[in-house]
Amino acid sequence: MEAILSKNTLASLSTVATVLQFLTGTIICRRYFKKKSTGDTSAFPFISGFLSCFMWLKYGVLTEESTLILVNFIGSALFLAYTVIFFLFCVNKREVVRQIMVVSCVILSATLYTTFSADTERSVRVIGLLCCFLAVIFFASPLSTLAHVIRTQNTDSLPFPIIVASFFVCLLWTAYGVLINDLYVQIPNLLGGILAGVQLMLYVIYPKPKTSHGGGPRYSPLVSENPVL
């Protein structure tokens, strides 16, 4: 009884924390509505976020894990909406369509494979590995900027609230993966938690100096808003 209660509690905490993280995209979309333009930003975070959530949704369906199904159904819907909003206000629609087509091919291939595969366990392994692979790509993408932070000894490019949120979300999902004994949930979230922890350590190593309102140089954010799940 206590085990069931702890699993349900952890599942609820993970779901709420992840959905709140997903909802940070509404802040960006609100900015698009105000400016009537996406500026020079990329649609990739939204499109890749949709791909990640959709693949985890498929993994949740294959493993019959209701928590994964719920949180990633919400995430898929939100990131699809963000992508549509971005498309409405962007200038280079051809590039957005190209990215959408690539993601659509990945999703179609995975769907056809799981639909016609007679071996359910193998389908779970393949989709699980694909989800982990996508997570590793997302985690590896900011490493070049991380090197820049270390080289310049300047943490202005680190979005502290997003890093803290990512750290705790990854910890929750890692704990949930341990509870349900699922390595495909444990490993990518553990990697995400470690990366977020390293970035938080940089705040200790290179604390932000107290400057005037004029401020110093600004850099692009290090952390993507894409969660693993």
For the entire predicted model, the pTM comes to 0.82
Q: How many CB atoms lie within 10 A of CB 167?
A: 18
The answer, yes or no, to whether residue 227 has pLDDT greater than 80, is no
Q: Is residue 40 part of a domain?
A: yes
Is residue 5 very low, low, confident or very high in pLDDT (cuts 50, 70, 90)? Answer: low
Q: Is residue 39 part of a domain?
A: yes
Q: Is residue 227 part of a domain?
A: no
- Could you give the number of structural domains in the chain? 1
Q: Is residue 44 part of a domain?
A: yes
Average pLDDT over residues 174-184: 92
Structural domain range at position 178:
1-205
Q: Does residue 223 contact residue 139 with C-beta atoms inside 8 Å?
A: no
CA pair distance 100, 70, nearest whole angstrom: 23
Q: Is residue 229 part of a domain?
A: no
Q: How many residues in total does the chain contain?
A: 229
Q: Is residue 65 part of a domain?
A: yes
Q: Is residue 117 part of a domain?
A: yes
Q: Is residue 218 part of a domain?
A: no
Q: Give the model's pLDDT for residue 209.
A: 65
Is residue 219 very low, low, confident or very high in pLDDT (cuts 50, 70, 90)? Answer: very low
